Amino acid sequence: MTLRSSLARFGRVSLGDRDTSVIRRSLWVTFFFTLGHVCYYCLIVLANRNLSPADFGRFYTGWAILNVLGAPGGVFVLLLSGYFAAAFRRGYMPALIAALGQAARQAVWPTILALLACEAALAIGGRIFAIDAFWLGFLLPLTAVASFMVEVLRATYQGRLQFVRYGVYWTVWCALQLLFGAVGLFLFDTPWAVFAGMLAANTAVFAFLLARILLQVPPEKRLHRQQRLSLREFMPLTTGLAASVVLINMDILMSYFMFSAVVNGVYAASALLAKAIVTATQPIIQIMIPVMTHAEGAPVDKRVVTIKTIGAAATFASLGAIVLWLGAPQVCGGRYGIQYCDVPIMGLLAVSAIPLVILRVLVVANVSYKQRGIAELMYAAVAVFVFCALRISRDAHALAAVYCLCCWGALGLGCVLQCVRAIERRRDIA
């Protein structure tokens, strides 16, 4: 194949092939994803307005811990979307229901063991670090597991490429979490009550989705057997994206352990909107994995998907950071802004969001191409940040600056690694 024909093929797939349309599909998912996260951030703002700085810092630290606890399950669900997509492509709904049953059988005991381990770890950690939030530590693992169960059911719609319905159920789910969480907050005025409300909403949505899915196939079709999941395929992406989630939330956890409750509350409030930039790019990853599954066997298609995803993620993150920089006086502090917020800290964390979203895309791309390096780089970045934070950071501003430098440094090393691989690949072809 000549260079000209290769470029023509690449351009034709980039512009016109609906099978690799990450941007078009991600617009739908982003729309509903944004609506859902508006509900989430309304809940966070309600907590910001109704809790003291110390309690809000404790609440947002719990939110960060919930994100970390849910990271392995979230990655597992992302990969399940590819597993469900392959099953649906082979046998439509009967095969998809069989794949769901197979995934449930394999995941039930590991999930129970992980729940017990997290409960024990938070209970022991609370005693060691004198954290006076027993109910918060008790509810966080339960809420994470309930969210995982809902996400598994929603992933069946990803596997069918029914992204509109997938997004609608997400929005309804988040709205119920807002409603139940707000009721808990107003009734008890404590951080743990919010997570109790979210747990109740998760349970209700899980029951609804399970009934909806099981009613879509005749009973005689449900016993159709499906191939087992290969844990070897799941581990690379699970460890890589879990590392990215840890890096995204590690500054919040370090702030909790390094500073007073009030200073931690200020840092948490300043990080709220900056972390929202990272969260807003999640739909792109949710689209990327099933689309790459459907593009299996066409290397140029997978490269197009990767390039589109990086471009979309970098653009969204950059626009978000610019908006926060320009609107900092309005959104940080003031009558209608985030209380306890600090503008310089928010600005540094907004800039940090750009490399974080690109690194997350690179993790998915590396695993898809069966390459290594980016996931290990994420763990190294976490270790370097923790070391520098403990040795250098004396206040919240220094912590934000160290975090920003570590994120950009990790992205720089990741780009160098990708360039070296590209050069080696060209040499092999030549």
Question: How confident is the model at residue 228, as a pLDDT?
Answer: 62
Residue 296's pLDDT is what? Answer: 54
Which tens digits make up the pLDDT trace of 259-288?
888 888 889 888 888 888 888 777 776 666
74 vs 358: CA distance, rounded Å? 18
Residues of the chain scoring pLDDT < 70 = 1-30, 90-92, 125-134, 161, 217-238, 285-303, 334-336, 367-372, 425, 428-430
Closest CA relative to residue 201, chosen from 229, 182, 225, 220: 182
Packing angle, helices 231-258 and 396-429, rounded to 10: 160
pTM over 0.85: no
Cβ atoms of 60 and 253 closer than 8 Å: no
Structure tokens at 247: 């890096």
Residue 133 confidence (pLDDT): 62
Mean pLDDT of the chain: 78
Whether 185 and 194 have beta carbons less than 8 Å apart is answered as: yes
Sequence-separated (6 or more) residues with CB below 8 Å from residue 206? 146, 149, 150, 153
How far lies 152's CA from each of 8, 123, 180, 323, in Å?
A: 39, 27, 22, 34
